[in-house]
Amino acid sequence: MSASKPPLARFEHVSLSFETPNGVLKVLDDVSYEISEGEFVSIIGPSGCGKTTMMNMLAGFQKPTAGSVTFDGAPILGPGPERGVIFQDYGVFPWLTVKDNIAFGLKLKANHVSIKEHNDICAHYLALMGLSDFANSYPKHLSGGMRQRLAIARAYAVKPKFLLMDEPFGALDAQTRLNMQNLLLQVLGAEGKTVMLITHSVDEAIYLSSRIIVVTARPARIKRIIDVAFPYPRQEAIQELAEFGEIRKIVRELVMSEYQAQQAQGSVRFSE
Ligand SMILES: Nc1ncnc2c1ncn2[C@@H]1O[C@H](COP(=O)(O)OP(=O)(O)O)[C@@H](O)[C@H]1O
Ligand SMILES: [Mg+2]
């Protein structure tokens, strides 16, 4: 990565308020940061602080009230295939089979993908996610964890330059979660993507990220940005290192203090 390259994603003095029947809810307050190509950035902060809203801006689903969000140097006007989103609540289509869910994004890019390539890509990601035997099943016949793996496969299949992942492993049991984290590292190693991951797991953030952005209770502001210097490819064993433990302690304390701030602040606060 050359130092002269502009950042892939840039938040500049971004604020956002929602107009609600109860008044104005301020969700983001003067957020500025950049994500360079090849970086893995995790966002961690209390529930309801504005993390998903922030990701929605980069995905192209939400415009800032003030400030700007740019991708590859241009303002974001809407969603695009170079930004693959894995939603918090699976985001699979119940009316499509497992295989057709994976193929969905590829069909949107139909001009670029031949039928053979298309089938190969589907088979590859079905196998990678352990879903080959369920290719022709519908999501309602899958467990929660399998549906989540399907959502991940669908996003990976399009090979987006930028992966936006909103608590993608939250509903998985500990062992499957670790498998998915390792698989993600493997896919990144092979395909060299840039990632923004929202997570509640401090360990997950440290294990996967090159940087962790801790955000405050709502309205979300940047509290601290922490570099995680472990080189890639990463092995599970780094989780046992003293240095890992030190970062864990720092991040946990930052996140805990924001949960406490959120509790002290009481329920949702609106302004006129
Ligand atoms: N479209 C919307 N209209 C009004 N309020 C919203 C909307 N989307 C989110 N919110 C509110 O904004 C706050 C931040 O939401 P969100 O970004 O989903 O938080 P997080 O992902 O950090 O848990 C919450 O209080 C939520 O209820
Ligand atoms: Mg969220």
* Residue range 216-260, pLDDT digits in tens: 999 999 999 999 999 999 999 999 999 999 999 999 999 999 999
Residues near ion ligand 2 (Cβ under 5 Å): 52
Average pLDDT over residues 173-198: 91
Does the beta carbon of 25 sit less than 6 angstroms from any atom of ligand 1? yes
Domains and CATH numbers, the chain: 1-82+162-272 (3.40.50.300), 91-159 (no CATH)
Instruction: Tell me the best of 14, 17, 25 to mutate to test the pocket of ligand 1, counting ligand atoms within 8 Å of each CB and taking the most.
Output: 25
Which pLDDT band, with edges at 50, 70 and 90, does 4 fall under?
A: low
Average pLDDT over residues 193-204: 96
DSSP H helices, 172-272, are 174-191, 202-208, 242-265
Which amino acid is present at 122? C
Which pLDDT band, with edges at 50, 70 and 90, does 16 fall under?
A: very high
Residue nearest to atom 16 of ligand 1 (CA): 50
| Residue 162 β-bridge partners | 83, 194
Question: What is the reported pLDDT for 270?
Answer: 60
Phi, psi of 231 (to 5 degrees): -70, 160
Q: Catalogue the E-assigned strands of 109-191.
A: 162-166
Which pLDDT band, with edges at 50, 70 and 90, does 113 fall under?
A: confident
| Cα end-to-end span (Å), the chain | 46
Give the distance (Å) from ligand 1 centre to CA of residue 217.
12
Does the beta carbon of 53 sit less than 6 angstroms from any atom of ligand 1? yes
Helix or strand run (H / E) with residue 156: helix 144-157
Give the distance (Å) from ligand 1 centre to CA of residue 143.
27
Q: Scanning the structure block, which residue is given the tokens 């401090």?
A: 202
Q: DSSP secondary structure string, 15-69?
A: EEEEEETTEEEEEEEEEEEEE-TT-EEEEE--TTSSHHHHHHHHHTS---SEEEE
Question: What is the reported pLDDT for 2?
Answer: 46
Give the distance (Å) from ligand 1 centre to CA of residue 86.
17
pLDDT tens digits, one per residue of 18-49: 999 999 999 999 999 999 999 999 999 999 99
Query: What is the rounded distance in angstroms from the CA atom of residue 262 to the CA atom of residue 193?
Result: 34
In this structure, what DSSP letter does residue 127 have? H
* Phi-psi group of 249: left, alpha or beta (phi > 0 → left; psi -120 to 50 → alpha; rest → beta): alpha
Question: What is the reported pLDDT for 233?
Answer: 93
Query: What is the rounded distance in angstroms from the CA atom of residue 239 to the CA atom of residue 234?
Result: 10
Token pair for 2? 């050359």
Question: What is the reported pLDDT for 257?
Answer: 96
Question: What is the reported pLDDT for 208?
Answer: 98
Residue nearest to atom 25 of ligand 1 (CA): 48
Highest mean pLDDT: which range of 12-26, 93-107, 171-185? 12-26
Question: What is the reported pLDDT for 225?
Answer: 98
Following CA atoms 185, 217, 145, 96 in sequence, which dihedral angle do they give, to the nearest 10 degrees? Answer: -100
Query: What is the rounded distance in angstroms from the CA atom of residue 229 to the CA atom of residue 210?
Result: 6
* 144-157 and 98-108 helices, crossing angle to 10°: 20
Residue nearest to atom 5 of ligand 1 (CA): 18
Answer whether residue 130 shows pLDDT above 60: yes
Give the distance (Å) from ligand 2 centre to CA of residue 4.
33
Which amino acid is present at 216? T
Task: Look at the alpha carbons of 136, 173, 46, 251 in this order and tell me if their dihedral is positive or negative.
Answer: negative
* Least confident stretch, 2-6, 41-45, 66-70: 2-6
Question: What is the reported pLDDT for 247?
Answer: 98
Q: Scanning the structure block, which residue is given the tokens 């989540």?
A: 148
